[in-house]
Structure 1
């Protein structure tokens, strides 16, 4: 029993898609997380910077000049704004035009030097903790008091960090939910997309071993290409199987009678005592053996032609070279028959696309058919035109009227002058395999059999 090769199973397409989707989601999650952290820090900074700026503006708005002295009346609203960051420590400082602290903590760091009014944000420390400050400048121009007054408000960064972390966590949570949904949908979509492959596998598994007919299933475009290739392979396999079956059937059908006749003649020769009769029997055995050898050659040639039609790639040929090869392959038959064949070739290249050996075999069968059944003079030629022709003609009358159409079928002419009836069938199969046909005609003086093939453009 032949060893069955095990199919090596690799990672399934579903698993590959799942890994790919997961990888994309993880990579996207890292990118989104980094972006979310950056956005969260930026959003938290802008939100709490506005709180600091609002508190500083409220404090600056309450500064009054009384008897040439700036008086600060700390507003409740400023502390209400700062209380929105309940876990952070806050401090403030109001600095007069002369650089002296009017009120607040003198340890509050001053901002970088900046001319004019407005606000300036800057980073500093609150003891050992990092902090964020805003300096809001209000300029006074009164007779008793003039110059800029800076209101500095700052707090630690706990609330900012917590807000940035919440924004990043929420973004990551949304991404995780969306990623899980995408993974589930991807799995479902891939499962549905792979159903045609499962149907193809089930259809093949349900078939009988001898059923090589093409599969007729609807499939997506990507799977349809594979299905078409599979059907093409099955068609070639079926053609080879049919050819093998025909070869076995033909051999069983055609070889039984000549082998039995040779065996009977050999028995007669073994029991015959008359030398003259024995020689006559031996001659008949030789004739039968020669016919049997020719039949075997024809059967094997036909099997070889069918095999090469699927296995040999077509090549660009000059049909004139095929004609010359055909004539050279029949030299021994011409010598035995004492005949000459007139070769008539076109003046220029006659391009075709095909298998040189198959075309030569077809030409040989046409020429041998003319040698056995035709009359001299015999001609072998190639002609060019919209279709190219490899033809053989003789001076005979050709087959009886009405029988020409059936001569190119297997064994149609068996028994005619010792013929096997396969030669024209081989020529027809070669012609059809090259997209052409066999054409026979009689012009009143000569009978012609031709392989008509499509001309190669360019």
Structure 2
């Protein structure tokens, strides 16, 4: 078994991935090592089988010869007589280089005929026994056959011994082994050729994947559509997922550039014009009004810039941030703590409703907090105070809701909620519409949904419905 262990160890070393090595070469070498190991085992088995087959064939010839000699013996006048026929040695004589010896031993242990040097083992012999001896300086194979006479003139057991040298046996064994090894070698070579062909055929889909990539436009990030075996499907799926993430990142970058160019140009130009007018204003009252407009414009521009950058950050974290267990109550509390007071220094009317026990989701706490802040900002910007931020669990879902006393959005706007700049383009109300787009992106990334509800008494409510994480041990 040491040889087999060496082959297995060599195969495992060949299969270890190394940078810059050929997968085809590693597979070919590994298969070759396995074929060599299998060929060696088959050769050893053929050698044992060849020797056993030759031994069995010639032992049967020896037994047949001994049976004929036994049949030729008889009792005459109380004496055992043997008239050995020539046919008893004809088959053994077909091996011209081998010698045939025989001996008939009487019941008293004396030789009746044959060679006295053809000895019998001391141990008890069965009716038919085979053993090996050395006769005349050459090894021989002997069969001993016991025959019992029970007649009035003679009663006793005689033994017939027939021996044959081993030259023909060895030649037959070598011929059998040689033929078997030749067959194994031919089969091994054929299998090696088929294995190499199979390896190249199995790796051909990899070349199709490479050709598909090299032939497409560098900006084409559509999913890869190549016919591959089922074993390579996970690889293609992983490539497509990576390309999808890369496509989303590029889309985010392009949208950020386009939105910045489109949305920031006008307020920056207006701010510059108002600043130029203020520098030329001599009336203190008019100057104060101009500065107030500049301050309001600056706050609006700052808010728009923050939302553009935050949306890009949220989309980026959707693909890159590690999801952890988050207590949504903590998200709500941190939102309230970070919420700005209004320009006059008075706290806004923001109420907080939380359950006694933790409510867990698996997600990105920064993205969830940003979505929550935008919901609260939208409620104050477009609704009526007081604003209530609540967290609760319902049928395995975690709900983070923001409610105000306003009338809410009309059905047409609600159906398009989540689009960038929807409010500024559709309703003409103040705001960029990016806040709700951020909420939509965060909810979608967390495999949740947005709910909108309007009640004449309670007002307008926006709810983020997220999959709950059942982990009571964290409470």
State TM-score, norm by structure 1.
0.88
1:155 aligned onto 2:155: no
> Structure 2 residue aligned with 1:450, among 462, 467, 475?
462
Q: Which residue of 1 aligns with 2:436?
A: 424
Indicate how the Cα distance of structure 1 residues 333 and 229 shifts in structure 2: closer, same or farther if over 3 A, else same.
Answer: farther
Q: Which residue of 2 aligns with 1:408?
A: 418
CA distance in 2, matches of 1:440, 1:71: 121
Instruction: Note the aligned Cα RMSD (angstroms).
Output: 2.8
> Structure 1 residue aligned with 2:210, among 201, 206, 222?
201
Count of residues in correspondence between the two structures: 450
Offset of 1:248 from its aligned partner?
A: 0.9
Is the CA contact (8 Å cut-off) linking 2:406 and 2:460 kept in structure 1?
Answer: no
Is the CA contact (8 Å cut-off) linking 1:372 and 1:417 kept in structure 2?
Answer: no
Offset of 1:242 from its aligned partner?
A: 0.7
> Structure 2 residue aligned with 1:37, among 28, 43, 47?
47
User: Which range moved further: 254-263 or 406-415?
Assistant: 406-415
CA distance in 2, matches of 1:147, 1:245: 113
1:103 aligned onto 2:81: no
CA distance in 1, matches of 2:354, 2:124: 103
Is the CA contact (8 Å cut-off) linking 2:352 and 2:388 kept in structure 1?
Answer: yes
Q: Which residue of 2 aligns with 1:310?
A: 319
Indicate how the Cα distance of structure 1 residues 159 and 266 shifts in structure 2: closer, same or farther if over 3 A, else same.
Answer: same
User: Which range moved further: 331-340 or 316-325?
Assistant: 331-340
Indicate how the Cα distance of structure 1 residues 59 and 322 shifts in structure 2: closer, same or farther if over 3 A, else same.
Answer: same
Q: Which residue of 1 aligns with 2:226?
A: 217
Is the CA contact (8 Å cut-off) linking 2:341 and 2:348 kept in structure 1?
Answer: no
Offset of 1:165 from its aligned partner?
A: 1.5
CA distance in 1, matches of 2:148, 2:244: 96
3-state secondary structure, aligned to 2:264: helix
Indicate how the Cα distance of structure 1 residues 323 and 103 shifts in structure 2: closer, same or farther if over 3 A, else same.
Answer: same
Q: Which residue of 1 aligns with 2:257?
A: 248
Offset of 1:238 from its aligned partner?
A: 1.0
3-state secondary structure, aligned to 2:420: coil
> Structure 2 residue aligned with 1:52, among 62, 79, 88?
62
Q: Which residue of 2 aligns with 1:4?
A: none
CA distance in 1, matches of 2:405, 2:79: 140
Is the CA contact (8 Å cut-off) linking 2:418 and 2:436 kept in structure 1?
Answer: yes
Offset of 1:306 from its aligned partner?
A: 0.5
CA distance in 2, matches of 1:318, 1:25: 59
Indicate how the Cα distance of structure 1 residues 66 and 222 shifts in structure 2: closer, same or farther if over 3 A, else same.
Answer: same
Is the CA contact (8 Å cut-off) linking 1:397 and 1:446 kept in structure 2?
Answer: no
1:233 aligned onto 2:235: no
Q: In the TM superposition, what whole-angstrom CA distance separates every residue of 1:237-259 from its partner, at most 9, and x where no partner exists?
A: 11111111111110111111122
Offset of 1:81 from its aligned partner?
A: 2.0
Is the CA contact (8 Å cut-off) linking 1:440 and 1:447 kept in structure 2?
Answer: no
> Structure 1 residue aligned with 2:363, among 354, 359, 362?
354
Q: Which residue of 1 aligns with 2:175?
A: 166
Q: In the TM superposition, what whole-angstrom CA distance separates every residue of 1:250-307 from its partner, at most 9, and x where no partner exists?
A: 0111111122223333444455566665555444333333222211111111011101
Indicate how the Cα distance of structure 1 residues 120 and 353 shifts in structure 2: closer, same or farther if over 3 A, else same.
Answer: closer
Offset of 1:58 from its aligned partner?
A: 1.8
Is the CA contact (8 Å cut-off) linking 2:146 and 2:160 kept in structure 1?
Answer: yes
State TM-score, norm by structure 2.
0.85
